[in-house]
Amino acid sequence: MAKSSIRATDLEHRRKINFNIGKYNAVVPQGKKQFAFLEESKMLAKNRKWEAIEHLDQYLLAFEQKITQRGAKVIWANDATEALEAIGNICKQKKCTTLVKSKSMVTEEIHLNDFLAEQGIESVETDLGEYIQQLDGEPPYHIVTPAMHKSKEDVAKLFAEKLGTPAHLSPEELTLVARKILREKYTAAEIGVTGANFIVADVGGIAITENEGNARLSCAWPATHIVVVGIEKVIPSVKDLPLFWPLLSTFGTGQQVTVYNSLITGPRQKGETDGPEEMYVILLDNGRTELLKDTRLRESLYCIRCGACLNACPVYKNIGGHSYETTYSGPIGKVITPHLRGMDEYKHLSYASSLCGNCTEVCPVKINLHELLLDNRHEAVVSGKSSLTERVAWKMWKMASLHRAMMNMGNAKMKNWVVNTVFKGWTTHRAELDFAPQTFNEWWKEHKQRS
CB of 179 to ligand SF4, least distance (A): 29
CA 96 to mean position of chain CA atoms:
30
CB 147 within 8 A of CB 132: yes
Task: Please report, as a single letter, which amino acid is at residue 388.
Answer: L
- Residue 198: which H helix or E strand, with range? strand 198-200
Report H helices in 365-423: 369-382, 388-402, 404-407, 412-422
User: Measured over all CA atoms, what is the biggest interatomic distance in the chain, rounded to whole angstroms?
Assistant: 95
Quick note: the x/- pattern for ligand SF4 over 239-278, rule CB under 6 A, is: ----------------------------------------
In whole angstroms, the minimum distance from the beta carbon of 54 to ligand SF4 comes to 18
Q: Which is nearer to ligand SF4, 67 or 309 (CB)?
A: 309
CB 228 within 8 A of CB 106: yes
Cα–Cα distance between 313 and 360 in angstroms, integer? 10
309 binds ligand SF4 (CB under 6 A): yes
Categorise residue 70: left if φ over 0, alpha if ψ from -120 to 50, beta otherwise. Answer: alpha
Q: Which is nearer to ligand SF4, 62 or 313 (CB)?
A: 313
Give the nearest distance from C-beta 28 to ligand SF4 in angstroms. 12
Q: How many CB atoms lie within 10 A of CB 370?
A: 21
| Residue among 75, 306, 315, 340 that touches ligand SF4 (CB under 6 A) | 306
Determine the Cα–Cα distance for residues 425 and 422; give it in Å rounded to an integer: 9
What phi and psi, each to the nearest 5 degrees, are found at residue 69? -60, -30
Establish if 155 lies at the interface with ligand SF4 (CB under 6 A).
no
User: For ligand SF4, which is the closer residue by CB, 206 or 369?
Assistant: 369
Q: How far is the CB of 307 from ligand SF4 (least distance, A)?
A: 5
The nearest distance, CB 13 to ligand SF4, in angstroms, is 22
Mention every residue, 6+ apart, whose C-beta is less than 8 A from residue 96.
90, 121, 189, 190, 191, 224
How far is the C-alpha of 205 from the C-alpha of 75, rounded, in Å? 15
Q: Does 308 bind ligand SF4 (CB under 6 A)?
A: yes
Give the nearest distance from C-beta 395 to ligand SF4 in angstroms: 34
CB of 337 to ligand SF4, least distance (A): 13
CB of 60 to ligand SF4, least distance (A): 20
Q: Which of 148, 158, 207, 304 binds ligand SF4 (CB under 6 A)?
A: 304
What is the total count of residues that contact ligand SF4 (CB under 6 A)?
A: 14
16 versus 305: smaller Cβ distance to ligand SF4:
305
Cα separation, 235 vs 233, in Å, equals: 7
CB nearer to ligand SF4: pick between 90 and 309? 309
User: Counting contacts by CB under 6 A, is residue 317 touching ligand SF4?
Assistant: no
The DSSP secondary structure of 370-383, one letter per residue, reads HHHHHHHHHHHHHT
Question: Which residues sit opposite 235 in a β-bridge?
Answer: 200
> Do the beta carbons of residue 148 and residue 329 sit within 8 Å?
no
| φ and ψ of 387, to 5 deg | -75, 160
CB of 387 to ligand SF4, least distance (A): 29
* CB-nearer residue toward ligand SF4: 363 or 373: 363
**Which span (66-74, 162-170, 297-305, 336-344) binds ligand SF4, by CB under 6 A?**
297-305
Selected binder of ligand SF4 within 28, 75, 283, 303 (CB under 6 A) = 303
Asked if 67 and 280 count as a contact pair (C-beta separation under 8 A), the reply is no
* Contact (Cβ atoms closer than 8 angstroms) between residue 31 and residue 249: yes
Q: Is position 83 an interface residue for ligand SF4 (rule: CB under 6 A)? A: no
Binding characters for ligand SF4, 338-377, by CB under 6 A (x = yes): ------------------------xxxx-x-x--------
The stretch among 83-91, 300-308, 389-397, 399-407 that binds ligand SF4 (CB under 6 A) is 300-308
- Chain residues in the site for ligand SF4 (CB under 6 A): 303-309, 332, 362-365, 367, 369
